[in-house]
Every structure is written in structure tokens, then in C-alpha cells.
Amino acid sequence: MPAMEKPAGNFFLVGLMGAGKTTVGRALARRTDKTFYDSDHEIEARTGVRVATIFDIEGELRFRDRETSVIADLARLDNIVLATGGGAIIRPQNRACLAAHGTVIYLRATIDDLLARTLHDKNRPLLQIANPRGKLESLFQERDPLYREVADIVVDTTQQNVSLLVARLMEQLSGLPPKHRPEQGS
């Protein structure tokens, strides 16, 4: 049986915190010989501080400004897999940027799975509250339509093995025409 051809273009992973964007993104990048980036990690590398600290000191609005800048910079690169922050799709310009520069993959999971994956993670500033389940439910209601709007593919990550998930994703990606970034003037 011939090896599956590696899909061309950039892949952008969107979804709520805990959906598996970083884990699946790393595995997908290895499988497709692309460079992996995580927008939150890139923000931390550029600022020298953790995302939670940016939220505490500058607030969510300023964090979103930084996130928009990082996404715009990374989306211009070729052959990457980018795991975006869960709230990246809030801003229309981020959704437009992702859609214009690659294939957008929405990783979707149940609230129970999201809660189990994030419950003890102190680097989730939006969940450091008395009722994290309620917050996740609220975020899901608010963001699910935006994730769906921008997504080329929706993948359920509930109770999924990463290798099988990436194999399924590769099959779906092979059926899509590659989305290339628009040509830039010299």
C-alpha cells in the first residue's frame, strides 16, 4: 500500500482550552514534517512571562492584542502547524487571518473531558475561579459557533488516542484541496 501523501499548506488548530490543540498539533507536525508553534508559548517567549501573568498584570484585552500580533506573524510562515489559544477566534481579524493562510481544524471535546484535562492546570487564567465547569460551559456556548464558522474540519477529541486521532485527521486532510497563503508582493 503506498504511503499517504503529506498534505500541503499550513494547519491551524482552534478549540477550547483542553481540547488537545498542543498535543495533537505536535503529533500532526511530526507526521506532516511541518514546524509546530503554539501561540501562547510564542507570546511567553516574546514577553519573557507566562500567559497567566500577562492576564494578571495587563488584563485579557492586552493579552488578546499580543495574541493577534503573534497569529498574524506566524500565519505568514510556510508549512507550519499552529495551536492557537482558546480565545484566539474571538477577534474577527484572527479568524480571517487563519482562514486566509491555511486549513483550520476545530478540535472539539465534551465539557467533562475539557474539565478533566484542565482542572489542575494553574496556567489557565480563565479557570482560576470557584466554578470552572460553569466557565467552560459559558465559553463553549460563546465560542463554538465561532470555531465552526472558521473551521474547514471539525474533529471530536473526546476520549481519543492521539495517534488514531492524527491518522483520522490525515485522511480528512488528504481529501481537502490545499489552502495556500495569498501571494505577497516582493
Query: Which residues line the annotated binding site for Mg(2+)?
Result: 22
Single-letter code of the amino acid located at 55: F
Q: End-to-end distance of the chain based on CA atoms, in angstroms?
A: 42
Helix (H, G, I), strand (E, B) or coil at 111: helix
Give the span between the Cα atoms of 63 and 61, in whole angstroms.
Answer: 5
Annotated binding-site ranges for ATP: 18-23, 124, 160
Annotated binding-site ranges: 18-23, 40, 64, 86, 124, 143, 160
Q: Are 100 and 12 in contact (CB under 8 A)?
A: no
Annotated binding-site ranges for substrate: 40, 64, 86, 143
Give the span between the Cα atoms of 107 and 161, in whole angstroms.
Answer: 13
